[in-house]
Amino acid sequence: MAIDYGSKRVGISVTDPLQIIATGLTTVHSKDVVDFLKDYFSKEEVECIVVGEPKRLNNEPSDSARFIDPFVLHLKRTFPKIKVERMDERFTSKMAFQTMIDSGLKKKARQNKELVDEISATIILQSYMNIIKY
């Protein structure tokens, strides 16, 4: 599972059991994400949560790290049996937007920020899976 955590919305993606391809699952409000995960984990087996790590071009943490880092700590405490990893999320929002254009979505549909967050989480998870396979 991957999470693109934002102060308002959280994009979530998952992979198939063979961990071949990432797929967008949903977008939830930030305040509801832990309850959503508790419910999801009661139904599905998840071995790892990959959380996007926001960085600047110079590799320094971005401003949004100040609310993502406490969230990651909370995840580790709430779900101690599930591994939590971090993955560079630079440019994922731009890549998600380009994916929407490439897939032929109309301008109105591309303004859906929830969809951008879900696609961003999918890009984070697919990137992570590509790295761990090699």
- The one-letter amino acid at 53: E
Q: Which of 127, 124, 20, 108 is nearest to 68 (CA)?
A: 124
Q: What is the pTM of this model?
A: 0.84
CA distance 119 to 114: 9
On average, the pLDDT of the chain sits at: 87
| CATH number of this structure's domain 2-132 | 3.30.420.140
Q: Which of 16-25, 55-64, 85-94, 114-123 reaches the highest mean pLDDT?
A: 16-25
List pLDDT tens digits, range 15-74.
998 888 999 999 999 999 999 999 999 999 999 999 998 877 787 877 777 889 999 999
- Inter-residue contact 82 to 41 (CB < 8 Å): yes
Contacts (Cβ under 8 Å, ≥6 apart) of 60: none
- Domain segments of the chain as ranges: 2-132
